[in-house]
Structure 1
Amino acid sequence: MSAEPLSPERRAAVMATLEGMPSLLAELDITLSRGDVISSAGSLGYVRATRVEQALPYNTGAAKAHRDVRAVLTDYATRVSAAVAQRVPGTAVDQARFLVRYLPQFPDDSDVVAGLEDALTEVVRSAYRVIDRPETLASVGNCECGLGLYARQDIDIVRCEGCGAVISVRHRRRQMLNQVYEVMGTAAELARLMPDGLGGRISAERIRQWARRGRLPSHIVDNRTVYRLGDVIELCAPRRSNRRRSA
């Protein structure tokens, strides 16, 4: 049975999910084997404790999630193995790597990949729900339907709870960064907008100095001198590199 062909973005999201499968399986193994610990909250979210604070009971939900993930990987690895005349790997991790290696050979409307996106999304979401460590979620903007989207830092795809659309987190974060680059503001406004993650703290006077020296383009809007945030971020990039080399 043929399925609707995957778009390039959705195809990339499927491959990214498969590439991250070893990490997900390792998380499930930790939860399943009672090797996880109770996490403590800090200023940057939840972190793994340095010692076992409390043994966790056997997690039947993790066992089911592990079985479901293995079933999907085995199903599609078997389909691919028949098409490429290669033996199906024995472990779930190796099956995920097997799919990453051979799936690019198949067109988006091939029966081999039919249903893979939905199957992967369902089992991955279920798996993360039963992992004992709380998830640290970050906003990745809004879906086209208007609902806010949130994802873990290490997740590559997210499904909208409203309309069911599958979104590539990498692509969405890149879009958000591009939008940030186009923000215009005065030196004082941009100095307040410059968090460490966007190039490091910088003073309004430093921004003005760059403009006076011809390093930073300026623009007149409504009788105000404004600058493009992306230009300021790029000027901060060498400063970050220098700090890393001197560390």
Structure 2
Amino acid sequence: MLYEGIIRLVRENSEHIAGYTIVKKELTDLNGYLEVLHPDEITYLNALKFNRRKSSYLLGRISAKSALGKIIPTNTVMSSFKVGFGVFQFPVIEQLSCSGFQVSITHCDAIGISIAYPEAHPIGVDIEKINPEKVDSMMNMFTQQEITLANSYLNDKASAYTLLWTVKESLSKILKTGMMIDFNYLELDSLDYKNGLYSASFKNFRQYKSFSIVLDSYIVSITCPKRTDIDLTNFAKHLTHLNLQS
């Protein structure tokens, strides 16, 4: 399964377009997309020893290039550029003939999600599996206020803590720090639910907001600038389709 589309990012004095792709495929099917990879990406893939790592890498690169294809010039050859790594492992677009684009990548199990965006308007995305066995370890990553907030909306602790985790992780991707930042510094100070979306704001990063979609087994969160009007209708619909076909 592969779903793709665009997300309109409306500001008071400007409008931007982001592209997204949601992929759910096993490694055998992902191997059918190798033609979009840059030679350096092929070399990196072939050096990976384990199928799980190969699958994660392909989910990320295939979804990233598909998402970028929604916003870069249509005549761009996907194998002509690569999605490399920054010093903290965040994705970096290299050798693309047109500049000014970046991408946020996340993957879990056989699912890969990427959102490509203009550098002028950052976005971060994260997906995590709801796993009751991780409740105790995740609990230590949150403040008591965050735990109270999440439990007030989600009765299941695994879902509540996974939501908190994905929200923070999606913000860390905008900051390009990943897990190298103290998660308490990414503390949430509000949480709400409306029209199928959980929305959150941050204590120390008030210029950003986050939206989360809770599926049967996964939670997906997107963080973007606070004053952006973002329409996630189609993105959420595609995630729901993915959920129904799981």
TM class, shorter-chain normalised?
Answer: under 0.3
Q: TM-score normalized by structure 2?
A: 0.27
Q: Greater strand share, 1 or 2?
A: 2
Q: Greater helix share, 1 or 2?
A: 1
Q: TM-score normalized by structure 1?
A: 0.27
